[in-house]
Structure formats: structure tokens, C-alpha cells
Structure 1
Amino acid sequence: MTQARTKIDVAKAAHLYEQGWRLRPLARHLGCSFQRLSVHLRLAGVQMRTPASPRAFRLPVGERRDAIVAAVRAGKPVQRIVKEHRTTSRSVRLVAEQAGLHVPAPRGRLDRAEVQRLFKEEKLSRREIAERTGFGYGTVASALRELGLAHYPS
């Protein structure tokens, strides 16, 4: 006796595939074989990624995605999440965005001219400069040391 096949919601499958789901985890999620899912997606006109595609972008799925969302909610830095979950910062930001969470944009280098101006002209302390710029106290202290500035503004 043959087993009844699970009906595939092709519209949902196409949407998830285009969001970055890989074919095998998506098939597992929908309860069908990846070969069958592939056929249905191709018949629906979905542009399929190939291994030869230039580094086809694929988002983490399932438990890994949930762990990334939990880490973002816990306020972990993006680079720590990247390292712990072996993914990219782009993936972390996209997964967070899809979950409706805000991840701050990556910040550039500390502007040493701005640090010098805040220290000399506005006479801010290292801690105040760190708060104003969004960088850590140690980063600001190192920048001031490199600039040859005294510990306290004069």
C-alpha cells in the first residue's frame, strides 16, 4: 500500500526559498522530499540556485535561526553571534530584521580628530567621549594615548 503524499504549499515554499532557505531544510520543514520540492518549485517558475552560483546567499534556518534571534534579543554583539553560530554579520542582521528586531548598523572606525576635539575643546572626560561616540572606554583611552593627550583635559 502506498503512503499518501503531503500536499506542498508551493507559494509558501517559493517565498521561503527566495528568503534564503536551503532546499533540504525547507523540504524537511514542509514534510516532503527535496527532490519533489525542487520539481514543484521549478514548475512554479522559481529561479533555482545552483552550487555553481557565485556564493548563493543562504540564511540560517530552524534551531540555528531561533538561537540567533535569541542572541540578538539578549543584546549580544553581532560579532560574538557571528563567531558562536558560524555565520556572517549580514545573515545576523537579515535574520534579526525578519524577526522584527533592530540591530545597530556596523560602526566604522573611531574618528580620532573628533575625539581630540571633544577632549580639548569641549573638555569631556574619556568616559563622556565614550558615551558620546558609542565606543568603549578602552578604545577612547587608546586613541587619546596615540594622540599623546594627557589623562584629563586641561
Structure 2
Amino acid sequence: MDKHEGPDAGTIRLDDPWYDGPAVDWGEGEGDGDCGGDAPLRSAGGRAAPADASEIYLEVQRSAAFQEVRSRYRGFVVPATAAFLLWYVAYVVAATAAPGFMARPVAGAVNVALLAGLGQFLSTFLLTWAYARHARLRRDRAALDLRWTVFEQERGHGRGRKREAGR
């Protein structure tokens, strides 16, 4: 979405794939929920388009692109979560099981426990930065492409319903 100035600044374009406006023609109005005709809608690839929104989302969920986005997500989140929890548990165990070690002075009034506690905060910020970077570089573009695919299929589905209802 482009930023612009003027009286309509800040408005959302209706063709924006991230815009979640009212789901027009989703099980509302005339008909029993089908597309109103015998011929299935055709997608850009010439295949029959799914009959409703839930089928569109299931088709996307089964797609290789979606599975790739999910595997990239899991590939970062699972090891990062495990490492962070291990680091946190090690800190708690060391604080309770080795108080003498944690009380050892490092520089002046600063001891090992204080450095480890500050390390917890630092590692939280570093993990947040790494997650945001990973999402931006490895997942956001593919996720946006998937969102555009769904958006286009939904638009095609909505047009097909309107076309069929107009007969």
C-alpha cells in the first residue's frame, strides 16, 4: 500500500490483500450457498475454482508454497524456543543449585547472577530481532504471495456468484 497525502490519506485500498473488509457474498443473499450454476468457476490455470471460501483456504493450505512457509516458520521457531527455554532453565537452576557461583563477584558489585539476569533480557531482545529478521527475509514475501493468491481466488469467486445471480 502506498502512502499518500490529501483528503483521502490513510484510507485502505479495497484491492489490498491485507484488507479484511466485510466478506461480501459469503453465504448471504439469494441462493443456497452454491455458485448458482452447474458449471464450476475456472481459475487462471484453467482448473475448476473451489466452490466456496473454505475450499479456497484448504486448497492454499495443501499447496507446496504454504507448506514451505510453515516449514520455514517451524525451522526457526522450534530451535529458537528450545534454546531460549534451555537458557532460562539453566539460569533458574544455577540460581537455586549454585548460589555460591552466582554470587561470585565479576567487577565491583556486579556478580555472575546479575550478568546472567541481564543476559536474559538481552537474549530476549536478540531473539525478537532475529525472529523479525527471519520473517522479513524468509517468510513475508512468500506469505504475501499466498495472500494475493487467496485474494484473487476470492475475487474471482465473488464475481462468479454475481454473474450467476444476474442470470
Using the size of structure 2 for normalisation, the TM-score is: 0.21
Larger fraction in helix: 2
**Bigger RCO of structures 1 and 2 (CA < 8 A, at least 6 apart):** 2
